[in-house]
Homo-oligomer: A and B are copies of this chain.
Amino acid sequence: MLFEAVPNFSEGRDAAKVARIVEAVRAVPGVRVLDLSSDPDHNRSVLTLAGGFEALLEASAALARGCISEIDLESQTGVHPRMGALDVLPFVPLEGASLEDAARLARAAGECLGRIGIPVYLYEHAATAPHRRNLADVRRGGYEGLRKRMRDPRWRPDFGPQEVPRWGATAVGARPFLVAFNAYLESDDVEVAREIARRIRERDGGLPALKALGLLVEGRAQVSMNLTDIEQTGLHQALEAVRLAARDLGVGVHSTELVGLAPLDAVVAAARHYLGLRRLERGSILEVRLWEEAGFGASGPGYVREDEGNAS
């Protein structure tokens, strides 16, 4: 079973601190560091890790200890709301793992962080109550609001101390693989982006497995999308829906971006669609064949989609 973990921690300015935290993770046998992206404005870094159950459990502990010793929330500032030094720790099922397996891993990691001295809130598919599923609800009020919040019986941590340390609390969750895909509009009117988001997202009767928000980013209206099942709604379907709604509202699409890593199948499906190819599978790609022949098995280490619904 292979999982992805995408920890977000509250240091994105001091490269030496970030490096020490990442090195502690990299030293764990069986853990692969796939990506690191640090944002000075948000003062926040996002790591992408892959590994098995035990390896990621150990990596979570190493990461938590690193964040505790390097980050002091009493002095940390940044644009991004956060409630912990290690702020969010989501687990995602990849090859051979289910969403339930990822939730088990999240609970095990949460327990482990609790023993280290971090108050832990389980969220999404690992949540212990319906009102704690949504990450935005869990983090509301941030580090500064934690003290008051923990007195509320509905917001007691799932693991760890029932008081607030200088490293705050951590939200640990399980969620399906998602593709973060943004479309920038030829407009600075955020209301247009919000209207497009409403027209295309599943919650309001649009495309299945598509979440969308309207934002203003770098002075440009942006439709920010999460694709939670690319077999239901792929990159090209999402983009064409944005283009259609944008045309209807009299604006153009300027450009798009992928945030983080995209699964190969999403890229292949988009190429197949736009090129009008009768057939294109990952097996049509030279490198994939070479990787398969080198012992990666029939499909390569792809991601596995869960069977449960994941609307909202």
Contact = CB atoms under 8 A, between A and B. Distances in A.
Interface of A: 4, 32-35, 48, 50, 183, 235-236, 239, 253-258, 261-264, 267-268, 270-271, 273-280, 284-291, 293-294, 296, 300-303
A285 B257 contact: no
A293 B33 CA distance: 8
Contacts of A275: 235-236, 239, 256, 270, 274
A206 to B, nearest CB: 19
A293 B50 contact: yes
A84 to B, nearest CB: 26
A294 to B, nearest CB: 8
18 contacts: A32-B293, A253-B276, A255-B278, A256-B276, A256-B277, A256-B278, A257-B279, A261-B285, A264-B285, A267-B285, A270-B274, A271-B271, A287-B301, A290-B301, A291-B291, A291-B296, A291-B301, A294-B296
A186 B222 CA distance: 38
Contacts of A258: 277, 279-280, 284
Given A285-B262, A287-B301, A303-B286, A280 B293 contact: no
Contacts of A291: 291, 296, 300-301
Contacts of A271: 235, 267-268, 270-271, 274
Contacts of A235: 271, 275
Contacts of A296: 291, 294
Nearest to A290: B301
* Nearest 10 Cβ contacts at the A-B interface: A274-B274, A32-B293, A34-B289, A261-B286, A270-B271, A271-B271, A290-B301, A264-B287, A267-B271, A256-B276
A218 B30 CA distance: 52
Given A256-B275, A257-B277, A287-B301, 15 more contacts: A4-B286, A32-B289, A32-B294, A50-B290, A255-B278, A257-B279, A258-B279, A263-B285, A264-B285, A264-B286, A270-B275, A286-B302, A290-B301, A291-B291, A294-B301
A258 B279 CA distance: 8
Nearest to A51: B293
B288 A264 contact: yes
A181 to B, nearest CB: 8
Contacts of A255: 276-278
A268 B275 CA distance: 12
A50 B287 CA distance: 11
Contacts of A257: 277-279
A32 B290 CA distance: 8
Contact of A261 (B32, B270, B289, B300): B289
